[in-house]
């Protein structure tokens, strides 16, 4: 977020807290856009990395597939590098890898 955008958001919040800006106007002004924040690209996982995550959780391919929300055939293909996970699956794999299953319960 740019310095100017950050300052504008702070000023808007102060005006809202003073009752000088309505809730609707405040909500509209506080919306973030893709230009306001930097969203890092997801990690592209290799088959070996996916195997490592699954084994760290002590899961079969079937159980791991249920956790991730895909089929066991998909997990098998990912692990053999026959296919690669989509961005959203990579983000979930990253969370599971870093924080364990507690992060998604």
CATH number reported for the structural domain that contains residue 64 in this entry? 1.10.260.40
Whether residues 8 and 26 fall in one domain: yes
Residue 16 to residue 28: CA distance in whole angstroms: 12
Total domains present in the chain: 2
Whether residues 34 and 5 fall in one domain: yes
Tens digit of each residue's pLDDT (9 = 90 or more) over 14-54: 888 998 888 888 888 887 766 666 778 899 999 999 999 99
pTM over 0.75: no
Whether residues 61 and 31 fall in one domain: no
Whether residues 25 and 66 fall in one domain: no
Q: Which residues contact 50 (CB under 8 A, 6 or more apart)?
A: 75, 78, 79, 85, 93
Tens digit of each residue's pLDDT (9 = 90 or more) over 53-104: 999 999 999 999 999 999 999 999 999 999 999 999 999 999 999 999 888 8
Give residue 34's domain range: 1-38
């Amino acid at each position: 977020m740019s310095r100017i955008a950050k300052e504008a958001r702070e000023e808007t919040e102060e005006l809202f807290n003073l009752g000088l800006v309505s809730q609707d106007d405040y909500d509209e002004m506080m919306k973030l856009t893709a230009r306001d924040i930097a969203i890092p690209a997801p990690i592209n996982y290799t088959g070996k990395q996916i195997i490592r995550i699954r084994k760290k959780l002590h899961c079969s391919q079937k159980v791991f597939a249920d956790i991730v929300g895909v089929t066991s055939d998909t997990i098998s293909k990912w692990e053999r590098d026959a296919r690669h996970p989509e961005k959203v699956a990579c983000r979930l794999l990253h969370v599971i890898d870093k924080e364990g299953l507690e992060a998604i319960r």
